[in-house]
């Protein structure tokens, strides 16, 4: 019985990658990747385009065969248990276009027929909140509705493990929040979800653990809070300045980082960034120091540290730089 | 949901039907176009009297003598005007009065001009007093079964079987690949053979509709005969359709874009439209290329269909075209299953 099997193996990870490597021609897409995702958790692969997220998730989905390394899902592997695995996972690919001339219900009936067990078509339509679009042709759906249909297709087999590849890319903010609510529901239902994204808000909001990827490698792994804490300060102070007359246009960075509560300094695209533990004590001192050095602020702002700042800290680039 | 709705083969097949029937252009090309073509050709060639051939002569007397034949329309013109008329094709033959005889000026590579030569000579010689040593009478054939429309209907049927199989299967597979639907399907537990089987099921079902509509039309409007067994005709249509489906599968097994697929399909079908004897007999091509012409699946299909419909030949006497069709079924299918790109 599948139900019993999942109970007895509740301790084993839902997904295990060990030493996975994949190269296309001479481009290494994924390099020596190790990942372990426990059951009933939402795990995010966060990184810019070209970081190897899609290759990684497609290796997990059995669509791409890795050059080397071990891939285990639900204690099974693609080499020996492909049919069994396809029955037990749900997949949403980055850019599937369902036939425009089929209705929502027809597409779901088709996908439901592939699975030995699963939820009813009605239930999948309800879960994806597509009740009003049940009889509508796919060609008439909005981007967000199409994405929810793709999600419903991934859910009809009642998967134990759900893969979502950039589920909200290209959606407007409202459609994105709508999809986040859907993922929240699935998390609460105890499903294991693995998603890729290049939106740090998305990873922050949805994921229990996040792996930050770049150039086919995992740069950092942890809960969003751990990752943000790793850069040392909870706040980011950003500023730019111009020099006053008779003053050097270069700031003495060492004096800025010496201010109590300032953890680190970075210069990104002409902006200086300081990560800071407590804004109310650090900011007046930063003002005073810049003034003392004869520098005139042309820009100044602060924000709470995010996964974006973690990525910038790790790579010196912004997530959305292509 | 009942059992049938839970069957993935049923769902895949019904998806193909829906997608076909919801595409109005496809319906036009598959059902309406061949009928329109048959109507056009039927009208063009229907009960047409024998052509009257345009000729000219250099003297009025000669012109009158030529005009005595029903098959000739004669006019008078001098030699230079006649040569120009020959060159632009407004006359086929110029009869030139010469001392003690007549000269015929015409192009002997043009069959109509050769006919005009024979008719002109006959009427002039008869007028001069020639008598035929053997009495002869004409028996004219305008019976169903030997008209041009009878010849062209099996050709159009073969062409339609080819087009609907190659276009119908090729385009939708490449479209599914281009839109990443194939990739999504293979990421699901779908059985891959069922995906391809669904194409065959829908193709063979559509085939029944197509063939019945087209042959029914030809039968009732033009009285095109079907002398052979209907079951054998059905079997031939199925075999031909399967062969062309295998070819369509092969054409679409790697292509990633519709443009590439479209080019490949034309590359495959164009030689057959030209060489396979849809509108005239393929035996007219030179002997050198006959082995190629004979090896084409459309030639084999049309030969077999004509054999059945026009001559009533049984399957046991058309093993050569059947073997050609079987080979075109087996080889492309085996190759495309090996090289098929699922993503």
pLDDT tens digits for range B86-108: 888 889 899 998 888 889 999 88
Q: Please check whether residues A86 and A208 belong to one and the same domain.
A: yes
**Cα–Cα distance for residue pair B14/B12, rounded to 1 Å:** 6
**Cα–Cα distance for residue pair B218/B37, rounded to 1 Å:** 11
**Closest chain A CA to residue B181:** A96
B256 contact residues in A (CB cutoff 8 A): none
A121 touches chain B (CB under 8 A): yes
Backbone angles phi, psi at A137, to 5 degrees: -70, 145
Final residue in a domain of this structure, among A172, A188, A222: A222
Q: What is the mean pLDDT of residues B175-199?
A: 92
Q: Please check whether residues A71 and A113 belong to one and the same domain.
A: yes
Minimum-distance CB partner of B22 among A61, A87, A101: A101
Minimum-distance CB partner of A111 among B180, B188, B343: B188
Query: Are A63 and B23 in contact (CB < 8 Å)?
Result: no
Q: Please check whether residues A40 and A157 belong to one and the same domain.
A: yes
DSSP state of B284: G
Q: Which residues pair with B97 in a beta bridge?
A: B102
Q: Please check whether residues A210 and A72 belong to one and the same domain.
A: yes
Query: Which residue has better confidence, A64 or A242?
Result: A64
* Sequence-separated contacts (24+) of A10-15 with Cβ below 8 Å: A10/A39, A12/A39, A12/A75, A13/A37, A13/A38, A13/A39, A13/A72, A14/A38, A14/A39, A14/A40, A14/A41, A14/A73, A14/A74, A14/A160, A14/A161, A14/A192, A15/A43, A15/A60, A15/A72, A15/A73, A15/A161, A15/A192, A15/A194
- Per the CB < 8 A criterion, the answer to whether B242 and B329 are in contact is yes
Instruction: Give the CATH number of the domain where residue A181 resides.
Output: 3.40.50.300
Residue-level pLDDT at A8: 45
Final residue in a domain of this structure, among A222, A244, A272: A222
**Cα–Cα distance for residue pair B211/A146, rounded to 1 Å:** 38
Residue A319 falls within a domain, yes or no?
no
**Cα–Cα distance for residue pair B53/B51, rounded to 1 Å:** 6
The answer for B254, left when phi > 0, alpha when psi is -120 to 50, beta otherwise, is alpha
Residue A204 falls within a domain, yes or no?
yes
Query: Which residue has better confidence, B266 or B44?
Result: B266
Q: What is the mean pLDDT of residues B17-42?
A: 82
**Closest chain A CA to residue B3:** A113
Minimum-distance CB partner of A91 among B15, B187, B343: B187
Please tell me the least confidently modeled range out of A95-109, B1-15, B17-31, B45-59.
B45-59
A117 touches chain B (CB under 8 A): no
Residue A317 falls within a domain, yes or no?
no
Neighbours of B293 (CB within 10 A): 20
A54 contact residues in B (CB cutoff 8 A): none
B4 touches chain A (CB under 8 A): no
Q: Please check whether residues A213 and A296 belong to one and the same domain.
A: no
Residue-level pLDDT at B189: 93
Q: Please check whether residues A50 and A135 belong to one and the same domain.
A: yes
Mean pLDDT for all residues in chain B: 88
Which residue range forms the structural domain that includes residue A120? 2-222
Residue-level pLDDT at A244: 64
Minimum-distance CB partner of B190 among A94, A109, A114: A114
Half-sphere exposure (CA, 13 Å, Cβ side) for B120?
29
Minimum-distance CB partner of A110 among B12, B176, B189: B12
A98 contact residues in B (CB cutoff 8 A): 181
Minimum-distance CB partner of A109 among B11, B19, B176: B11
The pLDDT of residue A272 is above 80: yes
Q: What is the mean pLDDT of residues B317-339?
A: 94
Query: Are B181 and A91 in contact (CB < 8 Å)?
Result: no
Q: What is the mean pLDDT of residues B296-302?
A: 95
Residue A316 falls within a domain, yes or no?
no
Query: Are A99 and B15 in contact (CB < 8 Å)?
Result: yes
Residue A139 falls within a domain, yes or no?
yes
B21 touches chain A (CB under 8 A): no
- Per the CB < 8 A criterion, the answer to whether B251 and B166 are in contact is yes
Q: Please check whether residues A39 and A14 belong to one and the same domain.
A: yes
B187 touches chain A (CB under 8 A): yes
Instruction: Give the CATH number of the domain where residue A297 resides.
Output: 3.30.70
Residue-level pLDDT at B154: 93
Polymer length in residues for chain B: 343
**Cα–Cα distance for residue pair A105/A90, rounded to 1 Å:** 18
The tokens 């990184």 sit on which residue? Answer: A47
A61 contact residues in B (CB cutoff 8 A): 187
| Three-state DSSP string of chain A | CHHHHHHHCCCCCCEEEEEEEEEECCEEEEEEEEEEECCCCEEEEECCCCCCHHHHHHHHCCCCCCCEEEEEECCECHHHHHHHHHHHEEEECCCCCCCCCCEHHHHHHHHHHCCCCCCCHHHHHHHCCCHHHCCCEHHHCCHHHHHHHHHHHHHCCCCCEEEEECCCCCCCHHHHHHHHHHHHHHHHCCCEEEEEECCHHHHHHHCCEEEEEECCEEEEEECHHHHHHHCCCCEEEEEEEEECCCCCCCCCHHHHHCCCCEEEEEEECCEEEEEECCHHHHHHHHHHHHHHCCEEEEEEEEEECCHHHHHHHHHCCCCCCC
Residue-level pLDDT at B46: 62
Q: Give percent above pLDDT 90 in chain A.
A: 42
Neighbours of B336 (CB within 10 A): 20
Query: Are A96 and B6 in contact (CB < 8 Å)?
Result: no
The pLDDT of residue A6 is above 70: no
Please tell me the least confidently modeled range out of A271-280, B135-144, B159-168.
B135-144
**Cα–Cα distance for residue pair B308/B240, rounded to 1 Å:** 14
Q: What is the mean pLDDT of residues A293-315?
A: 83
Minimum-distance CB partner of B181 among A62, A91, A96: A96
Mean pLDDT for all residues in chain A: 86
Task: State the smallest CA–CA distance between residue A301 and chain B in angstroms.
Answer: 44
Residues with Cβ < 8 Å from A54, sequence gap 6 or more?
A94, A165, A166, A196
Residue-level pLDDT at B48: 55
Residue-level pLDDT at B45: 66
- Per the CB < 8 A criterion, the answer to whether A229 and A217 are in contact is no
The pLDDT of residue A1 is above 60: no
Q: Please check whether residues A127 and A41 belong to one and the same domain.
A: yes
| CATH 3.40.190.10 segments of chain B | 53-127
Residue A112 falls within a domain, yes or no?
yes
The pLDDT of residue A150 is above 90: yes
pLDDT per residue as tens digits for the range B111-130: 888 988 998 998 888 888 88
Q: Please check whether residues A139 and A45 belong to one and the same domain.
A: yes
Backbone angles phi, psi at A161, to 5 degrees: -135, 125
Q: Which residues pair with B23 in a beta bridge?
A: none
Query: Which residue has better confidence, B209 or A233?
Result: B209
**Closest chain A CA to residue B173:** A99
In DSSP notation, B79-137 reads HHHHHHHHHHTS-SEEEEEETTEEEEEE-TTSHHHHHHHHHHHHHHHHHTT---SS---
Q: Which helix (H) or strand (E) holds B73?
A: strand B72-76
Kindly indicate the confidence band of residue A322, based on its pLDDT and cuts at 50, 70 and 90: very low
Residue-level pLDDT at B232: 95
Q: Please check whether residues A98 and A243 belong to one and the same domain.
A: no
Helix B192-222 and helix B8-21: axis angle, to 10°? 40
Q: Please check whether residues A34 and A165 belong to one and the same domain.
A: yes
Residue A322 falls within a domain, yes or no?
no
Kindly indicate the confidence band of residue A120, based on its pLDDT and cuts at 50, 70 and 90: very high
B77 touches chain A (CB under 8 A): no
Straight-line distance from the first to the last Cα atom of chain B, in angstroms, rounded to the nearest whole number: 31
Residue-level pLDDT at B145: 66
A110 touches chain B (CB under 8 A): yes
Minimum-distance CB partner of B180 among A96, A101, A109: A96
Query: Are A63 and B186 in contact (CB < 8 Å)?
Result: yes
A120 contact residues in B (CB cutoff 8 A): 1
Judge if ipTM > 0.90: no
Final residue in a domain of this structure, among A198, A222, A246: A222
Q: Please check whether residues A213 and A256 belong to one and the same domain.
A: no
**Closest chain A CA to residue B189:** A86
Task: State the smallest CA–CA distance between residue B181 and chain A in angstroms.
Answer: 6
The pLDDT of residue A321 is above 80: no
Residue-level pLDDT at A289: 85
Residue-level pLDDT at B24: 83
Task: State the smallest CA–CA distance between residue A140 and chain B in angstroms.
Answer: 15
Residue-level pLDDT at B297: 96
Residue B343 three-state SS:
coil
The pLDDT of residue A7 is above 60: no
Look at chain A and report how many structural domains it folds into: 2
Residue-level pLDDT at A4: 44
Residue-level pLDDT at A277: 83
Place domain B53-127 in its CATH homologous superfamily: Periplasmic binding protein-like II (3.40.190.10)
**Cα–Cα distance for residue pair B169/A286, rounded to 1 Å:** 70
The pLDDT of residue A211 is above 60: yes
Of residues B50, B62, B69, the one with CA closest to residue B118: B69
Residue-level pLDDT at A231: 74
Model pTM above 0.80: no
Residue-level pLDDT at A10: 55
A106 contact residues in B (CB cutoff 8 A): 15, 18
């Amino acid at each position: 019985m599948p139900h019993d099997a999942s109970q007895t193996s509740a301790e084993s990870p839902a997904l295990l990658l060990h030493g996975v490597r994949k190269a296309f021609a001479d481009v290494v897409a994924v390099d020596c990747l190790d990942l372990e995702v426990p059951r009933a958790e939402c795990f995010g692969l966060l990184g810019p385009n070209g970081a190897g997220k899609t290759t990684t998730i497609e290796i997990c989905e059995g669509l791409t065969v890795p050059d080397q390394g071990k891939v285990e899902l639900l204690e099974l592997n693609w080499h020996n248990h492909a049919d069994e695995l396809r029955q037990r996972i749900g997949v949403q690919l980055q850019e599937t276009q369902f036939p425009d001339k089929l209705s929502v219900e027809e597409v779901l009936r088709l996908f439901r027929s592939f699975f030995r067990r699963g939820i009813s078509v009605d239930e999948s339509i309800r879960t994806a909140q597509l009740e009003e679009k049940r009889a509508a042709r796919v060609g008439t759906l909005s981007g967000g509705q199409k994405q929810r249909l793709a999600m419903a297709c991934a859910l009809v087999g009642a998967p134990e493990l759900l893969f979502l590849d950039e589920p909200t890319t290209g959606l407007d903010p409202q459609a994105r929040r709508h999809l986040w609510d859907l993922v929240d529901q699935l998390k609460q239902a105890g499903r294991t979800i693995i998603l890729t994204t290049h939106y740090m808000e998305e990873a922050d909001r949805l994921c229990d653990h996040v792996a930050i990827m770049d150039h086919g490698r995992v740069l950092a792994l942890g809960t969003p809070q751990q990752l943000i804490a790793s850069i040392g300060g909870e706040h980011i102070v950003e500023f730019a300045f111009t020099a006053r007359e008779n003053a050097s246009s270069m700031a003495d960075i060492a004096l800025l980082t010496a201010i109590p509560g300032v953890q680190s300094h970075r210069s990104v695209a002409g902006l200086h960034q300081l990560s800071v533990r407590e804004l109310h004590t650090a900011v007046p001192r930063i003002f005073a120091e810049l003034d003392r050095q004869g520098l005139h602020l042309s820009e100044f702002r602060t924000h709470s540290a995010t996964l974006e700042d973690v990525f910038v800290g790790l790579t010196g680039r912004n997530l959305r730089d292509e | 949901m009942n059992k049938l709705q839970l069957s993935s083969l049923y769902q895949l097949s019904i998806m193909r039907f829906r997608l076909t029937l919801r595409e109005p252009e496809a319906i036009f090309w598959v059902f309406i176009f061949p009928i329109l073509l048959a109507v056009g050709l039927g009208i063009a060639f229907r009960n047409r009297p024998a052509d009257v051939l345009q000729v000219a002569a250099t003297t009025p007397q000669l012109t009158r003598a030529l005009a005595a034949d029903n098959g000739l329309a004669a006019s008078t013109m001098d030699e230079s005007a006649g040569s120009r008329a020959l060159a632009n094709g407004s006359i086929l033959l110029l009869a030139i009065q010469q001392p003690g005889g007549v000269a015929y000026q015409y192009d002997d590579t043009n069959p109509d001009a050769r006919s005009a030569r024979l008719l002109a000579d006959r009427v002039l010689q008869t007028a001069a007093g020639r008598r035929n040593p053997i009495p002869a009478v004409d028996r004219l054939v305008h019976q169903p079964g030997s008209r041009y429309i009878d010849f062209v209907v099996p050709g159009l049927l073969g062409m339609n079987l080819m087009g609907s199989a190659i276009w119908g299967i090729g385009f939708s597979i490449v479209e599914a690949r281009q839109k990443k639907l194939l990739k999504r399907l293979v990421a699901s537990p779908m059985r891959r053979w069922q995906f391809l089987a669904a194409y065959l099921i829908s193709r063979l079902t559509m085939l029944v509709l197509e063939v019945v509509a087209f042959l029914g039309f030809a039968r009732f409007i033009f009285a095109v005969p079907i002398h052979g067994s209907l079951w054998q005709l059905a079997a031939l249509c199925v075999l031909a359709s399967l062969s062309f489906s295998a070819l369509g599968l092969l054409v679409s097994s790697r292509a990633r874009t519709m443009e590439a697929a479209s080019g490949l399909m034309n590359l495959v079908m164009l030689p057959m439209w030209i060489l396979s004897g849809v509108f005239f007999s393929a035996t007219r091509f030179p002997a050198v290329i006959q082995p190629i012409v004979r090896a084409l699946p459309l030639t084999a299909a049309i030969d077999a269909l004509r054999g059945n419909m026009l001559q009533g030949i049984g399957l046991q006497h058309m093993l050569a075209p059947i073997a050609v069709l079987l080979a075109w079924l087996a080889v492309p299918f085996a190759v495309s299953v090996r090289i098929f790109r699922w993503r």
